[in-house]
Amino acid sequence: MPKPLNLIVACAENRVIGRAGRLPFDIPEDKAWFHEKTAGCVVVLGRVCFETWPKVRADGRRPVVISNNPQRILATNNPVESGLRTGSNLPGGRVPAQGIPLVAADVAGALAIAQSLPGEIMICGGQRIYEETLPLADRLLLTLVHAAVPGDRYFPEWRHLPWRETWRRESADANHRYTFSVLEKQLSGPPAPAPGRA
């Protein structure tokens, strides 16, 4: 049985997740949440997310990078030093050491690699990866920033899908109000109970 797929994202009310290759807001509490929830996980992400996330290899994460040019990732990260490999060249099905990135040419390849590795799967973006994986996701860990911000990268519309909120916490900093939520894919059956509050 395949492992569940989890998406984790921070987005604004207008679905913006990025601007010029960076996050469109700086919320320390959200960064801490993101690092806590992805620690020890297989993290599936695109090249830009990989290159701009300094802690991607820390805390037991196993990165699987999606790039239509795997050689760029390999060349940039010096496979001799980092142990970086494409998913197709894992010798004898061995599992790489924690923190050593693997590269896949597409989402399907990345998910196949992620399913073969130990640990929970967290899909961490960017836009194209979210668009392809949202329909497949079992759970969405969402930080919704209650603002409309300018940007050039967007999270796909999720509100029309059959989610059941299982946990929620409101918070704010000096610049933004935001809500942390855990949404589970709604299965047919009786209505879900009200979400727990932290």
Chain segment 73-118, per-residue pLDDT in tens: 766 654 433 444 555 544 444 455 555 689 999 999 999 999 999 9
Beta-carbon neighbour count of residue 115 at 10 Å? 12
Q: How far is CA 14 from the centre of its chain?
A: 19
Domain range for 71 = 5-197
> Is the predicted pLDDT of residue 143 greater than 60, yes or no?
yes
pLDDT band at residue 151 under the 50/70/90 scheme = very high
* Mean pLDDT over each residue of the chain, to the nearest integer: 87
Calculate ∠ Cα 189-193-194, nearest 5°.
140
> Residue 120 and residue 65: Cα distance in Å, rounded?
16
Q: Where residue 24 sits, what CATH number does that domain have?
A: 3.40.430.10
Q: What is the pTM of this model?
A: 0.85
Chain segment 159-193, per-residue pLDDT in tens: 999 999 999 999 999 999 999 999 999 876 555 55
Torsion-angle region of 183 (φ positive above 0: left; ψ -120 to 50: alpha; else: beta) = beta
In the chain, the number of structural domains is 1
